[in-house]
Structure 1
């Protein structure tokens, strides 16, 4: 070895001997001198060396604050992932409001005069209304109408005629031909008529009040009634979204003959948060407005909880009875009168009230839907001063006959207001970070940049340990980077 090489080795040896050893203690001291964390600079030599009271107290304070911070952060994150919500109620005045569909069903939808072509029909319906269908004998030649599958055309021919029931119709102060805007539709009540249902141009109103919206004078024709399960006279009014089937209605009003019935509407819109949030206790709703949503129903559109339940019941009834009812949208063998009254209708009535069956259908509510609430009032119709004029225009024979068959219905918004009930997340990402920042700032005086300092310390510790495992000399990376 040359003299120069020997001198170089000697210089390197002396430099290594003079440089102090670098350990985790030095790393901690350098971190505590540069970090923004509170009290960390107090927990370092000579404060804790050997064991000073001051150092122990600061260490206890720091550990206690850290434990309190961890406890609060676990609670905050747990609350965030439990997806809590708050409800916001917002009434708003609007320039125009979509008018609901109004479905009107006579309390007896079948016309006894038309059923008169079948001599045994009246006795049949009388017995059916009391649940005595098994006591009826069907003799020729009319037995076929009881035992053979019927058609929708037969039901239409045997039902009350809409053009005779809907005597006068007014909307927005203008008289219109009732049958041009009322659509015949089969419901569980039979053949009914609906205004503003599945129209290409949904009707909207721009003024509120009893005389500004829909006014109908209806003739129920009690002389044409036949025996049915209900013994009432008058009409059943269902108010529902124009895009939904009338049987999906949740707002029902009864109107009696001889009275003017006022139905003051209020519209409420509900908006719930989709999964992972819960809309109703522990039940999640379906976001039908999502681009990924596909309607799982075969025969009803759009998807709603009511449509889903109706289809589920009808499919089960078809499997049990082997036929479809007049209201079913699916193709299949139409039920005969006997099959309808002995199997189909009893089955539908029983399973619709069965909570276990409803759960088996697994129908979820939609996240966005409308509801109508109605305040109903009535007065005598017509007033005495109008009796003679009304007798002449309606050709009713007597005042008693007029009061037994005619009624007035007024459906209107009481004010141009829509109430929105919106479910909102209680925690957002921004609020979560705000709460976490508040907790860390309160306990340790930390910020996002402080997290970077801690991350840097951890990285340096990992590199320090790697140097030790490889037999290398640990370097002061905090100050040398």
Structure 2
């Protein structure tokens, strides 16, 4: 062997020395002495934790060992070797995950179907708003005032008979021209019975009130009627219930002034409705006959339905009139209600067909809108309105929706003979009645009152709220995988690390174990 030069021996010795020093420093760096409790512990440094070639399966193994989801830590071990036990746990976790996804889709589907529940409660009130009470005589026209038109009584008689036989009246028989003239509301008012002759005595809240000033004349489909507590700035409220505490009316139907009309009854038609609504707008109807004292015991119900996106009426949404940006689409009725909308739609179509309106149409008060003559009413307007009410497709054409908030008045009616024999003579003298039979054929007593100071509230509420949805989702996650909302953050973290891993590989950089470094 050749002789080794001293300078080369020196270099080798120096290199071994540096290698040994590096090894010692690495060992010193890789251990840390903790002397606080008198014991020495060693901790592995990041250099020992990071695998030389960190792969995607390493990332998955780290997630399985650190996540809070039940079963994942049994799928794979730290040495990344799959076992039969791991395969069984994989199947169990996949099955539980599929079941969870199925349940979550069902929960979300239920939430976005916006199911509705209904709650019915009875509430005791210290005060209750009294409804409007509209009283319509079964014959609103006064025969004594029609005598200046000799042919009118014959017309009303024949037209009433034709109404029942569906035939059209022959107007050629009338030659005085009254049938072809467009009459004003003033004319119709003068031909009708007035409040001063109909109302004898009126009481409200146990105190006598002036009938004429408290009952406002209003035109309805029945003709000229009179309404108590209608569309006033100060709506009447009641604080007590019972037949003595609310409205009492002694009424003379004036049967001696009746003329022929399509209905053959004698008495009054009582309409109970919201004070701000027209009397024809879906009222509660009660009939009262002369010779009887009629008691109308009311019970108020309030309905509150859910607006869009909920289907308040099975397949239909309600109109949210309480929405701040809601604008009443109706021109002649306020406030917006389904009945006001439907009435305006029919009246508008009838006006477009006939060129005139009926006395109950709000447009009749406008000077440039003519009221139909009797001939036009008989041959066009009444027929058109009657046919439109029979048309089942008209509701879709009018596009009227029911409001989300409304109220109804349920009534229980009872009656007894009026007056008692002992009172007959006294009442005959007070009303200037000729005989007791005359009194019983013309006079009646009406009492309208709340049976209890109680209101029934029917209110819809969402079956699924956000809190309900999150509660159900959390329950399903806990049942299937023992997971929670924070588990979603873990999954999000895994997806983020997987994305960063792919970015490292695409850039040609060494992938990092971010589970332990971050």
Structure 1 length normalisation: TM-score?
Answer: 0.94
Matched, 1:42 2:74: yes
- 1:49 is displaced (CA, Å) by 3.0
Where in structure 2 are the equivalents of 1:264-279 lying within 5 Å? Answer: 264-279=297-312
In structure 1, how many angstroms separate the alpha carbons of the residues matched to 2:174 and 2:91?
A: 99
Q: Contact (CA 8 Å) 1:48, 1:54: kept in 2 or not?
A: no
1:413 corresponding residue in structure 2? 450
1:156 corresponding residue in structure 2? 189
Cα displacement string for residues 251-304 of structure 1 (whole angstroms, at most 9, x for unaligned residues): 100000100110000000000000110111101101101101110000000000
Q: Contact (CA 8 Å) 1:238, 1:249: kept in 2 or not?
A: no
Q: Contact (CA 8 Å) 2:290, 2:440: kept in 1 or not?
A: yes
Q: Contact (CA 8 Å) 1:182, 1:196: kept in 2 or not?
A: yes
- 1:449 is displaced (CA, Å) by 1.2
Q: Contact (CA 8 Å) 2:299, 2:410: kept in 1 or not?
A: yes
Q: Contact (CA 8 Å) 2:319, 2:402: kept in 1 or not?
A: yes
Which of the numbers 53, 56, 71 marks the counterpart of 2:84?
53
Matched, 1:73 2:73: no
Matched, 1:334 2:365: no
Q: Contact (CA 8 Å) 1:127, 1:133: kept in 2 or not?
A: no
Q: Contact (CA 8 Å) 1:239, 1:249: kept in 2 or not?
A: no
Where in structure 2 are the equivalents of 1:247-286 lying within 5 Å? Answer: 247-286=280-319
Matched, 1:345 2:377: no
In structure 1, how many angstroms separate the alpha carbons of the residues matched to 2:203 and 2:236?
A: 13
Cα displacement string for residues 50-109 of structure 1 (whole angstroms, at most 9, x for unaligned residues): 4x3211110111001000000000000000000001000010111000000000000000
In structure 2, how many angstroms separate the alpha carbons of the residues matched to 1:188 and 1:301?
A: 18
Q: Contact (CA 8 Å) 2:61, 2:78: kept in 1 or not?
A: no
Cα displacement string for residues 172-230 of structure 1 (whole angstroms, at most 9, x for unaligned residues): 11011101111000001000000000011100000000111000011001111111110
- 1:48 is displaced (CA, Å) by 7.6
1:222 corresponding residue in structure 2? 255
In structure 2, how many angstroms separate the alpha carbons of the residues matched to 1:250 and 1:139?
A: 37
- 1:33 is displaced (CA, Å) by 1.8
- 1:135 is displaced (CA, Å) by 2.4
Which of the numbers 121, 124, 134 marks the counterpart of 2:169?
134
2:511 corresponding residue in structure 1? 474
Q: 1:47 to 1:322 in 2, by over 3 A?
A: farther
Matched, 1:124 2:155: yes
Matched, 1:234 2:267: yes
Q: Contact (CA 8 Å) 2:243, 2:448: kept in 1 or not?
A: yes
- 1:342 is displaced (CA, Å) by 1.6
SS in 2 for 1:300: coil
Larger radius of gyration: 2
Q: 1:136 to 1:33 in 2, by over 3 A?
A: same
Q: 1:237 to 1:57 in 2, by over 3 A?
A: same
Which has the larger displacement, 385-394 or 334-343?
A: 334-343
Matched, 1:98 2:129: yes
Gaps (5+ residues) in structure 1?
Answer: 1-6
In structure 1, how many angstroms separate the alpha carbons of the residues matched to 2:80 and 2:511?
A: 24
2:346 corresponding residue in structure 1? 313
Q: Contact (CA 8 Å) 2:136, 2:222: kept in 1 or not?
A: yes
SS in 1 for 2:495: helix
Matched, 1:387 2:424: yes
2:224 corresponding residue in structure 1? 191
Where in structure 2 are the equivalents of 1:435-446 lying within 5 Å? Answer: 435-446=472-483
Q: Contact (CA 8 Å) 1:106, 1:236: kept in 2 or not?
A: yes
1:456 corresponding residue in structure 2? 493
- 1:139 is displaced (CA, Å) by 4.3
Write out the 4+ residue segments of structure 1 that deviate beyond 4 Å after TM superposition.
none
In structure 2, how many angstroms separate the alpha carbons of the residues matched to 1:355 and 1:436?
A: 45
In structure 2, how many angstroms separate the alpha carbons of the residues matched to 1:250 and 1:151?
A: 27
SS in 1 for 2:310: coil
- 1:333 is displaced (CA, Å) by 1.3
In structure 2, how many angstroms separate the alpha carbons of the residues matched to 1:310 and 1:478?
A: 71
- 1:386 is displaced (CA, Å) by 0.4
Matched, 1:366 2:399: no
- 1:308 is displaced (CA, Å) by 0.3
In structure 1, how many angstroms separate the alpha carbons of the residues matched to 2:297 and 2:417?
A: 17
2:3 corresponding residue in structure 1? none
Which of the numbers 47, 53, 56 marks the counterpart of 1:21?
53
Gaps (5+ residues) in structure 2?
Answer: 1-17, 23-46
